[in-house]
Structure 1
Amino acid sequence: MRSTLAAATLALAAIMTGPGFVQAAAAGSVPALQSPAETLPRPADEALRTGMTTLREMVAVRLQDDAAQAMTEADYVALAGEIERQVGSIVAGRDFHNPAGRHLQWLLGDITDGAGLMRSSPRIPGKRMGLLRVVETLNFYGREYDHPGWLALKP
């Protein structure tokens, strides 16, 4: 056991003092971005822009209504269903097998999670938290994606 540990320690020391390792450390190499999904703003095609604009408008109308008169539990559940249907139409036919697609999938999943909280929370404050999660994720989309004219929502 000790001889194996000693051999592994010597091998690691040899690797770390080798010329390739020392040159890389001396050059101060910094890993570069590995994919275009890391660039901002992230690309958005016309179908995504249209779907996200529809989703934003749907939520904006309810936020304005909520300022005038508080939403009921049934209102939250109905809005959650509308949000989930809209996310479903955005997802339809979309490729999520690249870095940009995976980021979009995460973002849409976060919106769906907020809608799920709106639907399943037993009390209105929990449903309101779900709506706020949807609003914050939509605002994040506006900051991260190439969507000219996007207006942030004010919860």
Structure 2
Amino acid sequence: MTQARQHQHHSSEHGKLSLNQGKKWNSDAPLRQSMNTLHAEFQKKIASKQHQALSKTHFKQLGEITHTEIANIVANCKLNPEADAVLHQIIAEMTQGADVVTGKAKGQPAKATHKVINALNDYGRLFEHPNWIILK
């Protein structure tokens, strides 16, 4: 079982994506660091709407970076159970997208990349993360 899938099963509570009683969930330094890395990579390579023209190599690199940072998040997860359950859903979306762009699952890399971007944006809307900018 992959670390991301182990992380998904770590908590028994899998609700819908939601705020913490109207407020953003707390985050911790390891989570913010990994999300910053992912945000920078996706912003640099695809936020300019040129992701349709990325090569298979570029897509694969984005997927590998995503898998690496998900593993870092899972290894260092220190959130409360409710925040962790919300994060699990975001990680699941990111993992599905990364699996496609790395060739581990079938699908269209551009659409899968957009799935990861949406998950990153969900993270930014739901978790405290100073200076987070939504990707477009």
Q: TM-score range by the shorter chain?
A: 0.7 to 0.9
With over 3 angstroms needed to count, the CA separation of the structure-2 counterparts of 1:114 and 1:144, relative to structure 1, is same
Map 1:51-70; keep pairs closer than 5 Å.
51-63=34-46, 67=50, 70=53
Residue matched to 1:22: none
Greater shift in the superposed pair: 101-110 or 114-123: 114-123
Q: Which has the higher contact order (CA 8 A, sep 6+)?
A: 2
Distance change (3 Å), C-alpha of 1:68 and 1:131: closer
**1:78-116 deviation per Cα after TM superposition (whole angstroms, max 9, x unaligned):** 211111011111211325771211211221121111111
Q: Which of 101, 109, 117 matches 1:127?
A: 109
| Total equivalences in the alignment | 117
Is there any run of 5+ residues in structure 2 with no aligned partner, and where?
A: 1-18
Greater CA drift, 103-112 or 56-65: 56-65
Q: Corresponding residue for 1:7? A: none
- 1:147 corresponds, among 117, 129, 136, to 129
Offset, 1:39 = 4.4
Q: Report the structure number with the largest CA radius of gyration.
A: 1
Task: State how far apart, in whole Å, the 1-side matches of 2:118 and 2:52 are.
Answer: 21
CA 101–64 in structure 1, closer or farther in 2 if over 3 Å, else same? closer
Residue 41 to residue 69, structure 1, CA distance change in 2 (3 Å): closer
Report the AA paired with residue 99 of structure 1. E
* Separation in 2, partners of 1:69, 1:113: 18
Partner of 1:78, secondary structure, is helix
SS at match of 2:50: helix
Could you tell me which runs of 5 or more consecutive residues in structure 1 were left unpaired when the two chains were aligned: 1-35
Partners of 1:96 and 1:48 in 2: how far apart? 9
Question: Normalising to structure 1: TM-score of the pair?
Answer: 0.65
Change (3 A) 1:130 1:69: closer
What pairs up with 1:80-95 in 2 under 5 angstroms?
80-95=63-78
Asked whether 1:115 is paired with 2:98, we answer yes
- State how far apart, in whole Å, the 2-side matches of 1:67 and 1:106 are: 27
- Tell me the TM-score normalized by structure 2: 0.74
Structure 1 vs Structure 2 CA RMSD: 2.5
Deviating beyond 4 angstroms after TM superposition, the runs of 4 or more aligned structure 1 residues are 36-39
